[in-house]
Amino acid sequence: MNTSNPGQLSISRDQVLVAHAADMIVRTGFSQDDFAQALSSNLHILIPEKATGKDVPDFDKLALGNDTTEFLRASGAWLRRVSRWLSGEVDLPSWIEEAWVQSLTGEFHECCVNELASRHGLTGARQVDGDGNPVGAFGLLVSRLGSVVQLGSEILEDGRIDVEDLNSLPEFVERLLSVEARSCELRLRAEAVLQKQSASPVLHQVKTR
């Protein structure tokens, strides 16, 4: 999904986060309870002291305690807090944002990152590390390119991009952002290898007679 609307003022950052989470819950088997537990887990991984200070339950620790009553009490209270954020009843606090994004899965995570990045003129490339799979990134790029070509062909059938295409443009922009992100990921990986190679001393073989 893309929450941007060129005819209206942009919605806030926390509204973007909530919209993508709500869309994921509606369209997948990932329930609100699943999302709440994933959010709790990510908060304790990313900002453990803050999470503890804000009374975010650590379900892994609670499960080890074998106290069913306490587990259910903490689970119910946390689910109510998350429900208020999802419904917009309570604004999403900034300290939760990173863990919130990490709790989104698959395309919902990617689309959310891309939309947030695009608001600042950036590309939502994933962090490149030594454990990443370039084949997987390339496969995603090919897949995203195919979807861009398909939708782009429909939009450009009359040779123009204009108001007649308004219904398709948000999705088209979203797909283009995804292609940019995957391209950037592969480019960064290739540049990292080139930089590493240029920094290494070149050994020349000495010919012997």
Residues 83-114, buried b or exposed e (16+ Cβ, 10 A)?
eebbeeeeebeeebeebbbbbbeeebbbbbbb
Residue 10: how many other CB atoms lie within 10 Å:
12
| pLDDT recorded at residue 109 | 84
Query: How far are the Cα atoms of 4, 5, 16, 176, 188 from residue 9, in angstroms, in the given order?
Result: 9, 7, 13, 22, 34
- Burial class of 26 by CB neighbour count within 10 A (0 to 12, 13 to 18, 19+): exposed
pLDDT confidence band for 34 (50 / 70 / 90): very high
Query: Which pTM value belongs to this model?
Result: 0.59
Residue 1: pLDDT band with limits 50, 70, 90 = low
Nearest to 120 by CA among 177, 162, 170: 177
Helix segments in the chain, DSSP class H: 13-27, 32-46, 48-53, 59-64, 68-87, 97-102, 106-118, 134-155, 169-199
Give the pLDDT confidence score for residue 51 in this predicted structure.
92
- pLDDT tens digits for range 53-64: 999 999 888 888
User: Which residues lie below 8 Å from residue 107, measured CB to CB, with a gap of 6+?
Assistant: none
CA distance 78 to 175: 34
Average pLDDT over residues 196-205: 65
Per-residue pLDDT of 81-96, as tens digits, reads: 999 999 888 888 889 9
More confident of the two residues 48 and 111: 48
Alpha-carbon distance of 47 to 94, in angstroms, equals 12
pLDDT tens digit sequence for 123-144: 455 544 444 567 766 776 777 7
Q: Is the pLDDT of residue 149 over 70?
A: yes
| Lowest-confidence pick of 40-49, 102-111, 121-130, 169-178 | 121-130
Cα–Cα dist 34/90, whole Å: 20
